[in-house]
Structure 1
Amino acid sequence: MESFLVSTGVVALGEMGDKTQLLAMLLAARFRKPVPIILGILVATLANHALAGAVGGWVAQALGPDVLRWVIGASFIAMAAWMLIPDQIDNEDAGGRQLFGVFGTTVLAFFLAEMGDKTQIATVALAARYGDLVAVVAGTTLGMMLANVPAVFLGDRIAKAVSMTLVHSIAATIFAVLGMLTLLNVGQIF
């Protein structure tokens, strides 16, 4: 349960102000069809995070426990630093033409935008840390949905009401604490 809850919280906070959240707002403004956009985000996130989780599981087996602890701890600390750098959406991430319809455009745009993104890398690290692929992928996917579904419906109002600097600082702190606990070999986080 810990792996699910930590994965959900870390990704939900990490996604705030992220380029994929900005992409969700852009797609909502462009297509004005929230249901296929939300379903597209869900499918893209499940596929992307399942692959990332599988890579995390492979890394955990390949490195062994001692090396893995240092790699994961350093990764979490690097993620903490990365969280302090605000994201901006690239125009090409917006989906361009509507060749695949609203759902297909959303799946493709989100899957590609999430490649190498903070939340994808966090999913790799979380899967390697906890070793429970299903709980981590379910948690990171829920975290993505918690951050992006309101963005689809409320978009600009959320961006104006919430301090992204504060949210990113909280997420960075969580990643830093996870990194230090991992480096110190603390088994249970909460």
Structure 2
Amino acid sequence: MTPPQTILPSLHLENSAFVEVKVKAKAKKKTDSLSLPPPPSLCLYTNIETDKKKKKLSISSADRVIDKNKKKTKMSSSDKVRASHILIKHQGSRRKASWKDPDGRVISATTRDSAVSQLKSLRDDIVNGKAKFDDIASRFSDCSSAKRGGDLGSFGRGQMQKPFEEATYALKIGEISDMVHTDSGVHIIMRTG
């Protein structure tokens, strides 16, 4: 048996330019299609903690880079605020294991009302000039930011609990909020930037 042969049509010189252009065009189409990112695909996954099924859109890494750039644009420094706060936790607060009084003892019976009255008293001392915000935060706040005088640094929208975020954005720099209730406890907030 003889091996198969590739039979090529004989090309005349006058057609060779046409064939070359056509081959180059096909090669360009293949290169163009190779440089495009793959289309997004839809994945189904299950959250093992909640046992809920969710759909997730998978996108290419090229699209992720674009999304990161959009986030950077959306989260420019003008969209961020800076704040300090004083947090008093109570029985209804989340993360009960972190409840500690200024001496490091675990808080067990602070009610919401007593947290509010304590914070009102501290706020009055600050507003009346009897004490500085950062000193009071260092001494009385139930948050790890107490070590920094209550300073939380800069943050943008969507990074804090909604009531806290709304109160902070509503303040002018240097203003101190009234009581702000979140899942963490009761806060007073001072916008610092």
Q: Same fold (TM over 0.5)?
A: no
TM (norm. structure 1) is 0.25
TM (norm. structure 2) is 0.24
The structure with the largest helix share of the pair is: 1
Larger Rg: 1 or 2?
2
Higher relative contact order (CA 8 A, sep 6+): 1
